[in-house]
Structure 1
Amino acid sequence: MAFLELHNIHKSYFLGKEEFPVLNGIDLDFELGEFVSILGESGGGKSTLMNIIGGLDRNFDGEVRADGQLLDHKKEKQLDDYRRGTIGYIYQSYNLISHLNIVDNVLVSLNMTNLNNRQKKERATDLLKQVGLGDQLKKHPNQLSGGQKQRVAIARALASNPRVIIADEPTGALDSKNTTEVLEILENIAAEGKLVITVTHSQDVANYGTRIVRLADGKIEDDTRLKPAFATTVEQPDIKPKVLSAGASYKNAFQHLSYNFWRNSLIMLGTAIGLFAVLLFSGIGNGVNAFIQDQINSMINPNSVTVMKNSTGKKMSNTAFQQQLAQSSSDPSKLFFTPQQVQRLEKVKGVDQVEPGYQLSSYTLSYKDKNQNSANIQTWTKAFASDTVKTGHAPKNDQILIDKSQAIALTSQKTYKQLLGKKVKVTIPWIDKNNHPVQASAELTVVGFANGGQAGAIAATNYSTMNHLLSAAKADTRANFISVNVKDANKVKSVATHIRGLKDNGKYNYGAITVGDILDTVNQYVSIASIVLAAIAGISLIVSALMIIVTMYMSVSERTKEIGILRALGERKKDIRRLFTAESVLIGLFSAALSLILAYAAMLGLNHVLYGIVKFNMVQITPGNVIFTVVAAIVISFIAALLPARKASRLNPIDALSAD
């Protein structure tokens, strides 16, 4: 029974509306063990017939049956399976993949089999040894002679153990010696029980086989048997076809990327610079946020809730409340608390201590003949962090804590510590109960220095001292803020929320600010600035994506013939798409790795320089930043490759194989 059957095959090409028939009703049967030569002149339809037999040409009329099964040439998946499991190709121009060595060229076919990696490597090596190339295994195609290249093509055709070998002018580019050797190899293949079909215009080559089919003007002119087909009793290796794995696609992509590494390195460098800029600005944003948090936490107790008067009586967001406070600064009388309101806060669940206090917007320090004008003096409460006092101790009655910078301004850099234990005059403008301005002043003993640094100067007295100072000036002595200390740090937000919801006579009179609120507000602005800077840097990523797109289109153009080869071997459109997206993703990953190296080098350098100024690491690249960078690189490179990969997968295999 025939293994391969062709029934009433018709094929025409069209130029506009004009039809040019190529095959006119071809009927042929082929058996396993035959070495059939299709003989004819150029233009007689030989190659078209081979493309139909090989499952590459889908646009024709007629039937093709393989091993009794009808091939539906409208079903691309069935043809992919057919080429992968049944057909092996040998070409006149060899059609080897230039960036792969000869072992890897054979492995391209073996990667679509059920063999494991060791078995694939062993079979590829054995086949190359069988065709006389055992000493050339590490060479690339451009390092071989024509005869050697054809032997590699034969080894690749045999690799997956196909039942049918199609050889299109296999000796057309060879000298007589190599021609004889190749024909002997093909005859041995047929003798092993395979069907060998060769296309040739040479009568001498045709005479080597078991049968000659003459094709002229698209018809069978003659079908002559020279000798019987070989027996098909030779045991075949147990090799089953399977679809190409994703790992094999990525390996091929990596091999091509490595082969053209230096050309692609410019693309990777450009992409890496964009990723580096985004990563660095994100790291700077993290560092600034951490620095601000460190500065605030060094001055403010995180268990503290600062309660200020909500002068509107309406419930509002924390941001709106802080804006209202800024607007109320011109009229301090709106911010006073009554003793009853202070006592009410003591009853809030979770509160450890309630301390009324004063925050005054401006004051003057005088020592001997020097004056220092400053903003914001307040009473000492538990709201201050434990390490606020850098030298000395917290203030008691008739004592004051001032900032190191103020002490230096009143004395000198070298002698400021001598101010400890000395009296300074404190002058504070305030208002009386009628909202008229008054001026309070007193001499207080300096008992400690704080270091507000970038956060600003810190000055504080205790509540009793400030109350006595204001009373002496007949100023209003009602507290204008309340410090609430919470027992459990995890309950600070919930206590603050509860306080904001308290009502007096139906009005919301309490606003609450925590360290977290301050940090959230500041970090929001820092984050916005970081995002804007990162977005500006991200423009370079768009340029990088365009570069990758251009590179991939160039790669498709350069690898057109390779695409045809892979499709002829049985790779699916999906595999071709994945080949190019894989290479682009690898470019993205290499770019991400390079950007990380650049970013960490910049981080170390900048932190080394800036630490001497602010005593803090101002660039902090987090694992989240690293993950974002890698993911962004993969996504950008994958998206950039989609259109070129789609174009590659839609190429006609026949046209691709004929590309120069």
Structure 2
Amino acid sequence: MIKLNEIHKVYTQGKVGFHALKDINLFFKKDETIAILGPSGCGKTTLLNILGGLDTPTTGDMVIDSKLTTNFTESEWDYFRNHRIGFVFQQYNLIEHLPIVENVAISVKLSGVSHKDSHKRAIELLTKVGLKDHLQKLPNQLSGGERQRVAIARALINNPDIILADEPTGALDKKTGNEVMDLIKEVGKDKLVIIVTHNKKVANKYATRIIELEDGRVKSDTSPKDEKVKIILKREKNRKKLKFKEAIRLAYYNIKGKKWRTFLVSLGLSVGIVGLILIDALFNSIRTGLEQQTAVIQNNPDIYIMADDESTTIDLALTAIENTNYFKEVFFAPRQDFQIVKNITKDSNLLSNVGTNVIGTPQSTEIKSVFTNILGDGRLPNSDNEFALPLDTAKKLINSNIYLSNDEIWELLKNNIYLIHTDFEYSVAYIPSIETNCIYTSMWDGDTNNLPLEYNETELGTITENLNALSPYRSTPIVVGDKNVFCGDYSEIYWEIDYDTPVGEGTEFKLVGIFDNKLFKEALFSEDTINSIGSKNSYIYPSSEETNPIDEFYRYRAFLKNDNVSNKTDIMRSLEERGYIVRENVDFGLDLFSGITNLFIYILQFIFSSITLIAVVTGSLMLLLILYIGVVERRREIGLIRSMGGSRSDVRLIYTGETTLIGLIAGFLSILISLVLVVILNIYIYNNYQELVLRYLPFVDPKKVLSINYAKLIYAIIGSILLAIVSGLIPSIIAGKKKPIEALRNE
């Protein structure tokens, strides 16, 4: 069965050599129990290691079942150790962090057997050796004899042809030693059993053949045999490999036994990943805000439609545009600057262009009759600390990117309290946006030269400061004072608020109603109303000066229905075919601005992420160091796995399984820490830096300056796993390269 032919083994250290085995010629047959005797250092263990494939001779040949091992590949040696050999070591060589059932099953798992089948075999063998009640115990919870029984069960699980036992009773008392030898004799009845021992009594009692060594040579053989063998050159089939899920299971038991080390390593690895998540959360919030602003503008249902002013009246044009059924609202929107006129009469051709924006307490029955269409449960103002708004102005108070119904607008705004500060000369009824051209005056004397037509920092700086401090709607503040006020932009006319009683500093005003602009305009310019208020108030109307060809057209502002926004291009083309001039209400530099801004954001994110990567690299190096220390600590375990037929790739796979679990833990830790930090940091930023955020990042929600993209969190887990695996590559390669005999010789 096994033939050794002129085996020599020389160990070298530098230029010095030690001849451990000299000219060994032996033949072993099946069904023999052979004891190899001899003093310490005579070569007994070296011979056993060569027979088991853990070591190779310096010269000479070994033939196993007619196969010459001299030219065995590493894969063939792995197959031989896994399927043909069962080792019983003097020091047991059990893996301390595995339950004994896993210690026994690991050998068969290395040959690709499933967890269920391997456990079934392991339980049967442990029951056979009397350890049925100790399956889940760790090796350090067993006595020496029980440990050796586990080692015997492990040696038998692959049903090998050869059992090699190295001093199996050396660490046991006499009684336990005899029990172990009885067990070996029983389980080895139909196998070749080779026992290395220094105890002649044990050899005489249990062996059918005794070979004695001295100084590396065979001194005596009680039953020498020699047969000619025919060499078969056919290669052994490659065995199946360890399954990855079993590698993960083995890794789990290892990290389970080192909980705190695993936690700290995972925490160190997660620190850098947390930094990357927080940086991405910050720039995600900025990017999302910009994208939403861009999307709102690009998908704006708002378009301008120009119609020839000679071909139709404004009212007919409005009706014609509305009848296309594309739009939910259409308004007349003059393009020109404003002038001020007094004493408008019912015959004025300017009346059709007039709108309104704010009303206080109506001063006459005629005016009260105008406001007949108040939304929802709203009403007209009844006192000087109340006011009402037209619908289009109310919409400007809603900083929303989604379409809201009229009733929803009212529900959001009704009974809102506006704290009005009047500690300045100018009092403004309504400012749509500080960037737009508005009219501010408290010195009205009929001369338009006294009327500022655009924002003046010197005169109105105090107003802006007070508005920023007191108004809940910074972009659309409402300020009411005791002076006459006019304010307008390019598309709307604002009606004067006239209070009889001066308003004190810090007065609160309540919004009590929202009314329909169109119905108001129709009623406002009825004969009775004009006769009543036309001589009392001043209005703003479009100037006809400095016209250009496009000014020959009236301009209308139309808002597409929600379902039509996606078809805006087709609708615009259809309107052009009908003779209209159509323009989108967008900034044509928006795309360029958006592109440059996004590029700038990505560059900043790259810079910050690059800095944070230092922490990631540091964590990776720490993991690499810990795993390398683990290789040194677990040399005997690595040697044991190789002695049971585990290949280099199996050892690497076990380490990869461990790094995968560490990376997974680090990934979940980084997500958990990031989620907690985002909540804490958002609260802190909102409470301490809300004003700065609103000033410099107006498109970012100050309550959510950090906004995690939850879909990207899976990348954090995948990234941490890959990072851990890469960090463990070098230690796993080093571990895989360990030769079985070298690893077993080292603690």
TM-score of the superposed pair, with normalisation by structure 1: 0.70
| Inter-partner Cα distance in structure 1 for 2:105 and 2:126 | 11
Which of the numbers 702, 714, 733 marks the counterpart of 1:646? 733
| Inter-partner Cα distance in structure 1 for 2:35 and 2:732 | 38
| Inter-partner Cα distance in structure 1 for 2:423 and 2:290 | 28
SS in 2 for 1:618: coil
What are the equivalent positions in structure 2 for 1:126-275 lying under 5 Å apart? 126-191=124-189, 193-207=190-204, 208-225=206-223, 242-275=240-273
- Preserved CA contact (<8 Å) 2:431 2:438: no
SS in 2 for 1:162: coil
Residue 540 (1) aligns with residue 627 (2): no
Which of the numbers 635, 643, 654 marks the counterpart of 1:560? 635
The equivalent of 1:625 in structure 2 is 712
Q: Alpha-carbon deviation of 1:471?
A: 5.7
Q: Alpha-carbon deviation of 1:558?
A: 0.9
Change (3 A) 1:441 1:31: same
SS in 2 for 1:513: coil
What are the equivalent positions in structure 2 for 1:50-449 lying under 5 Å apart? 50-73=48-71, 75-113=73-111, 115-191=113-189, 193-207=190-204, 208-225=206-223, 242-295=240-293, 302=300, 392-394=390-392, 411=422, 425=439
TM-score of the superposed pair, with normalisation by structure 2: 0.62
What are the equivalent positions in structure 2 for 1:37-56 lying under 5 Å apart? 37-56=35-54
| Inter-partner Cα distance in structure 2 for 1:198 and 1:561 | 21
Instruction: List gaps (5 residues or longer) in structure 2.
Output: 226-237, 305-325, 341-354, 356-387, 400-412, 442-448, 456-466, 479-486, 495-539, 573-585, 691-700
Specify the structure having the higher radius of gyration (Cα).
Answer: 2
Q: Alpha-carbon deviation of 1:29?
A: 1.3
The equivalent of 2:721 in structure 1 is 634
Residue 590 (1) aligns with residue 587 (2): no
CA RMSD of superposed structures (Å):
4.6
SS in 1 for 2:160: coil
Q: Which residue type is aligned with residue 175 of structure 2?
A: K
| Inter-partner Cα distance in structure 2 for 1:172 and 1:585 | 40
- Preserved CA contact (<8 Å) 2:122 2:153: yes
Q: Alpha-carbon deviation of 1:520?
A: 3.7
| Inter-partner Cα distance in structure 2 for 1:69 and 1:651 | 25
Q: Which residue type is aligned with residue 461 of structure 1?
A: D
| Inter-partner Cα distance in structure 1 for 2:655 and 2:62 | 33
| Inter-partner Cα distance in structure 1 for 2:621 and 2:454 | 71
Q: Which residue type is aligned with residue 672 of structure 2?
A: I
Change (3 A) 1:535 1:60: same
Deviation by residue 1:317-345 (Cα, 9 ceiling, x = unmatched): xxxxxxxxxxxxxxxxxxxxxxxxxxxxx
Change (3 A) 1:142 1:515: same
- The answer to which of 556-565 and 71-80 deviates more is 71-80
Change (3 A) 1:440 1:111: same
Deviation by residue 1:412-455 (Cα, 9 ceiling, x = unmatched): 89x9896599x98459xxxxxxxxxx9985699xxxx9999677
SS in 2 for 1:95: coil
| Inter-partner Cα distance in structure 1 for 2:76 and 2:716 | 41
- Preserved CA contact (<8 Å) 1:302 1:514: no
- The answer to which of 259-268 and 286-295 deviates more is 286-295
Q: Alpha-carbon deviation of 1:642?
A: 0.9
| Inter-partner Cα distance in structure 1 for 2:476 and 2:729 | 54
Count, aligned residues: 535
| Inter-partner Cα distance in structure 2 for 1:285 and 1:599 | 15
- Preserved CA contact (<8 Å) 2:34 2:209: yes
The equivalent of 2:319 in structure 1 is none
Q: Alpha-carbon deviation of 1:527?
A: 3.3
Structure possessing the higher relative contact order (Cα contacts under 8 Å, 6 or more residues apart):
2
The equivalent of 1:29 in structure 2 is 27
SS in 2 for 1:461: coil
Change (3 A) 1:177 1:453: same
Answer 1 or 2: which has greater strand percent.
Answer: 1
Q: Which residue type is aligned with residue 489 of structure 2?
A: T
* Identity percentage of aligned residues: 31
Deviation by residue 1:388-420 (Cα, 9 ceiling, x = unmatched): xx953558xxxx99999xx9888589x989659
- Preserved CA contact (<8 Å) 2:112 2:240: yes
- Preserved CA contact (<8 Å) 1:210 1:226: no
Q: Alpha-carbon deviation of 1:536?
A: 2.7
| Inter-partner Cα distance in structure 1 for 2:614 and 2:570 | 42
Deviation by residue 1:609-632 (Cα, 9 ceiling, x = unmatched): 667854653333224421221121
Q: Alpha-carbon deviation of 1:538?
A: 2.7
SS in 2 for 1:135: helix
- Preserved CA contact (<8 Å) 2:642 2:739: no
Q: Which residue type is aligned with residue 202 of structure 1?
A: N
- Preserved CA contact (<8 Å) 1:425 1:442: yes
Q: Which residue type is aligned with residue 249 of structure 2?
A: K
What are the equivalent positions in structure 2 for 1:605-620 lying under 5 Å apart? 605-607=680-682, 614=701, 617-620=704-707
- Preserved CA contact (<8 Å) 1:305 1:513: no
Residue 461 (1) aligns with residue 536 (2): no
- The answer to which of 555-564 and 644-653 deviates more is 644-653
Change (3 A) 1:628 1:470: farther
The equivalent of 2:599 in structure 1 is 524
What are the equivalent positions in structure 2 for 1:473-488 lying under 5 Å apart? none
SS in 2 for 1:161: coil
| Inter-partner Cα distance in structure 2 for 1:465 and 1:418 | 12
- Preserved CA contact (<8 Å) 1:470 1:476: no
Deviation by residue 1:138-185 (Cα, 9 ceiling, x = unmatched): 221111111111111111111111111111111111111011111111
Deviation by residue 1:626-654 (Cα, 9 ceiling, x = unmatched): 12211210121111111111111111211
The equivalent of 1:573 in structure 2 is 648
- The answer to which of 608-617 and 558-567 deviates more is 608-617
| Inter-partner Cα distance in structure 1 for 2:111 and 2:243 | 10
- Preserved CA contact (<8 Å) 1:90 1:153: yes
Q: Alpha-carbon deviation of 1:269?
A: 1.4
Change (3 A) 1:24 1:62: same
SS in 1 for 2:55: coil
Deviation by residue 1:223-258 (Cα, 9 ceiling, x = unmatched): 11399xxxxxxxxxxxx9632212211111111011
| Inter-partner Cα distance in structure 1 for 2:66 and 2:336 | 97
- Preserved CA contact (<8 Å) 2:664 2:720: yes
Deviation by residue 1:549-570 (Cα, 9 ceiling, x = unmatched): 1110111111010000000000
Change (3 A) 1:412 1:90: farther
Q: Alpha-carbon deviation of 1:283?
A: 1.6
SS in 1 for 2:137: coil
SS in 2 for 1:225: coil
- Preserved CA contact (<8 Å) 2:62 2:68: yes
| Inter-partner Cα distance in structure 1 for 2:591 and 2:648 | 55
- Preserved CA contact (<8 Å) 2:428 2:440: no
- The answer to which of 281-290 and 108-117 deviates more is 108-117
- Preserved CA contact (<8 Å) 1:106 1:159: yes
- Preserved CA contact (<8 Å) 2:333 2:492: no
